[in-house]
């Protein structure tokens, strides 16, 4: 197989090609290919166990894929150019710092205040100047509506507030790509709205986002493209207007019946 060097499309921020991943004998990803263009929002849908979260975790190598390649703005992730030699841990750390991740369980650092959570990695990983980072972080907190919580520790926040901090923390890294791993699944239903609202403004503001979610409303209204996964494969992709009203595959129809009418 010929190793592609970079992507042909310069607008392509994320380019995943033929990704496979197994845990033991259990094939979780079975040749998944996917692209996300600059400024676009792609929603990954699918029943639980379909491999969505694993795919997301492979993108920043929290899980190591077995085969396939991932390009971030044309640069290979996880492997050095040529695709044979794995990246060193420091190269991998640098690559990860270009991708923002928002976790299902927030994964905030409990020993740091809200503001400290935001500035921690920009200062200590990206080595940016403290003054600049703090000023930006304060702006981000304003954007997610948490300016008054900046000196509070995470365990004093509601789930929705925690997740908004989680999003602001990812944004503070000025990432080329934002990954959302079921960002509203751990929230009480009444708190989902505030997080979805923040994600919408991000999407409309031109952030490049790959979102694993069960929030069909968000996918329908905000995504530029939806991708349905099942059994470790991409079953269908398309415009949300197409996908939700006129799905092409039986699998997609079944999925929509179960998740959208419910």
Partner 1 sequence: MTRDFGVVWEHADRLVEGLLNTIILTLVGASLALLIGSLVAILLMSSSRPVRLISQGIVDLMRCIPFLMLAYLAYYGLPSLGLNLDNWTAGLFAIVVYNTAYMAEIMRSIWIGLGRESIEAATAFGFRGPRLYTRIIFPQIFLAASPMIGNQLIQIIKDTAFLTIIAVPELTHAASSIQSQYFVPFAAFIAAVLIYWALCMLVEAGVFVVERLAEVRR
Residue 58 contacts partner 1 per CB under 8 A: no
Which residue lies nearer to partner 1 by CB, 120 or 242? Answer: 120
Indicate which single residue of 14, 43, 101, 119 sits in contact with partner 1 (rule: CB under 8 A).
101
Shortest distance, position 67 Cβ to partner 1, whole Å: 22
40 burial (CB, 10 Å; 0-12 / 13-18 / 19+) is buried
Site for partner 1 in 76-95 (CB under 8 A): 89-90, 92-94
Beta bridge partners of 76: 71
Number of residues in the chain: 262
Beta bridge partners of 43: 211, 226
Shortest distance, position 260 Cβ to partner 1, whole Å: 31
Shortest distance, position 118 Cβ to partner 1, whole Å: 11
Site for partner 1 in 120-139 (CB under 8 A): 120-121, 124-126
Indicate which single residue of 47, 147, 153, 220 sits in contact with partner 1 (rule: CB under 8 A).
153
Q: Contact 123/173 with Cβ under 8 angstroms?
A: no
Site for partner 1 in 217-256 (CB under 8 A): none
Sign of CA dihedral 7, 12, 14, 19: negative
Shortest distance, position 185 Cβ to partner 1, whole Å: 14
97 burial (CB, 10 Å; 0-12 / 13-18 / 19+) is middle
CA-closest candidate to residue 170, choices 118, 133, 96: 118
Indicate which single residue of 21, 52, 76, 96 sits in contact with partner 1 (rule: CB under 8 A).
96
Q: In what order do the strands lie in the sheet with 12-23?
A: 26-37, 12-23, 67-72, 75-76
CA-closest candidate to residue 115, choices 94, 130, 100: 130
Q: Contact 16/3 with Cβ under 8 angstroms?
A: no
Residue 260 contacts partner 1 per CB under 8 A: no
Indicate which single residue of 62, 135, 139, 260 sits in contact with partner 1 (rule: CB under 8 A).
62
Binding mask 6-45 for partner 1 (x = CB under 8 A): ----------------------------------------
Shortest distance, position 259 Cβ to partner 1, whole Å: 27
**Contact positions toward partner 1, by CB under 8 A?**
60, 62, 89-90, 92-94, 96-97, 99, 101, 103, 105-112, 120-121, 124-126, 153, 155-156, 169, 173
């Amino acid at each position: 197989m010929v190793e592609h060097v970079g992507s042909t499309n310069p607008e392509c921020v994320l380019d995943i090609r033929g990704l496979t991943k197994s845990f033991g004998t259990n094939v979780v990803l079975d040749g998944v290919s996917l692209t996300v263009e600059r400024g676009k929002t792609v929603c990954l849908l699918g029943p639980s166990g379909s491999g969505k979260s694993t795919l997301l975790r492979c993108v920043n190598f929290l899980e190591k894929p077995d085969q396939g390649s991932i390009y971030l703005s044309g640069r290979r992730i996880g492997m050095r150019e040529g695709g044979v030699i794995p990246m060193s841990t420091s190269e991998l750390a640098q690559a990860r710092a270009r991708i923002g991740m928002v976790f299902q369980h927030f994964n905030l650092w409990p020993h740091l205040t809200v503001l400290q959570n935001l500035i921690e990695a920009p200062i200590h990983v990206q080595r940016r100047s403290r003054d600049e980072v703090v000023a930006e972080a304060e702006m981000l907190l304003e954007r997610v509506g948490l300016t008054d919580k900046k000196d509070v520790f995470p365990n004093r926040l509601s789930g929705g507030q925690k997740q908004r901090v989680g999003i602001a923390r990812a944004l503070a890294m000025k990432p080329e790509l934002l990954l959302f791993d079921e960002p509203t699944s751990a929230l009480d239903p009444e708190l989902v709205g505030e997080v979805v609202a923040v994600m919408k403004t991000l999407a409309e503001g031109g952030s490049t986002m790959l979102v694993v979610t069960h929030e069909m409303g968000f996918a329908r209204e905000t995504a530029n493209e939806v991708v349905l996964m099942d059994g470790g494969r991409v079953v269908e992709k398309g415009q949300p207007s197409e996908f939700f009203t006129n799905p092409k595959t039986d699998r997609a129809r079944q999925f929509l019946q179960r998740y959208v009418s419910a």
